[in-house]
Amino acid sequence: MSLRLGYGTNGLTDLRLDDALGLLADLGYDGVGLTLDHMHLDPMAPELAARTRRVAGRLAELGLDVTVETGARYVLDPRRKHGPTLLDPDPEGRAARTGLLVTAVRVAADLGAHAVHCFSGVTPDGTDPATAWKRLEEAMGPVLDAADAADIPLAIEPEPGHLVGDLAGFHQLRHRLGDPDQLGLTLDIGHCQCLEAASPADCVRDAAPWLRHVQIEDMRRGVHEHLPFGDGEIDFPPVLEALAATGYQGLTVVELPRHSHAGPELARTSIEFLRGPGVRA
């Protein structure tokens, strides 16, 4: 089974969205990981529904599938990276993040996306674990309700340093929430190399029942830095073989958010690497 490859717009922030989508289609990508942010599809600006319809038309014209990603750095607060989160001490902050995710579900439904990506956030200083988990459970409730109503999977990403920071954290959240049907997993292959005890290929196999979105890049052990393919330590053929064997039907999205200055070239070299005979599943 051939993997369906995408590229994240958070690595193409120097391009207009129409130009980024055209580039990816021309390069042969199957889809795009669309981060809702001010430079592309701004979830906070007026006439979101109309702008979303236009993007949906462009995606259809180009034959691109889409995942909606919500990792924009300053979309809610211009002074706090990724803030506020679902763990924010301020209830209004948590509500703002919940509201953004509910909006993302609505956008995903209008785009025909196959999932909405999200993350827990870092536990704030002075917050005990029990309180952090309680906040996360409560904040996720309306998002899961919206995802269920729209029939859009919600894919939470274990992020190094976050409350949900690894696969064990994902399973803890899943169990605490009662294993809801709409809650799935965003598996970042680099994060597996960075901090999981198992190999990235074994992580894929272990996570297979819950895979709803996959991000991919190179990375080194113990260093959370997204790297172009070949600059890290990951042995990719076993990873791609494991992904193909799961039957996962969503996008596998290249995630290079700090390389936008070289985005068009890295989009080209990334698909050549992943489709190349040496690593192709």
- Check: CB of residue 42 under 8 Å from CB of residue 74: no
pLDDT at position 72 over 80: yes
Question: Residue 2's pLDDT band (boundaries 50, 70, 90)?
Answer: confident
Question: Residue 235's pLDDT band (boundaries 50, 70, 90)?
Answer: very high
Kindly state the greatest CA–CA separation across the chain. 51
Tell me the average pLDDT of the chain. Answer: 96
The C-alpha angle 223, 224, 225, rounded to 5 degrees, equals 100
Categorise residue 153: left if φ over 0, alpha if ψ from -120 to 50, beta otherwise: beta
- Check: CB of residue 278 under 8 Å from CB of residue 241: no
The predicted model scores a pTM of 0.96
Please tell me what DSSP assigns to residue 237.
Answer: H
Distance CA 190, CA 115 (A): 20
Taking only the tens place, the pLDDT of each residue in 89-104 is 999 999 999 999 999 9
Q: Which two tokens stand for residue 10?
A: 């958070």
Taking only the tens place, the pLDDT of each residue in 142-151 is 999 999 999 9
Question: Residue 280's pLDDT band (boundaries 50, 70, 90)?
Answer: low
Q: Which two tokens stand for residue 99?
A: 């509201």
**Separation of CA 168 from chain center:** 18
pLDDT at position 6 over 70: yes
Taking only the tens place, the pLDDT of each residue in 76-91 is 999 999 999 999 999 9
Mean pLDDT of 102-118: 98
pLDDT at position 183 over 90: yes
pLDDT at position 172 over 80: yes
Question: Residue 158's pLDDT band (boundaries 50, 70, 90)?
Answer: very high
Pick the closest to residue 216 from 150, 266, 278 (CA basis): 266
Q: Does domain 4-275 have CATH number 3.20.20.150?
A: yes
pLDDT at position 281 over 70: no
pLDDT at position 278 over 90: no
Pick the closest to residue 267 from 31, 108, 3, 81 (CA basis): 31
Helices 91-111 and 129-150: angle between axes, nearest 10 degrees: 30
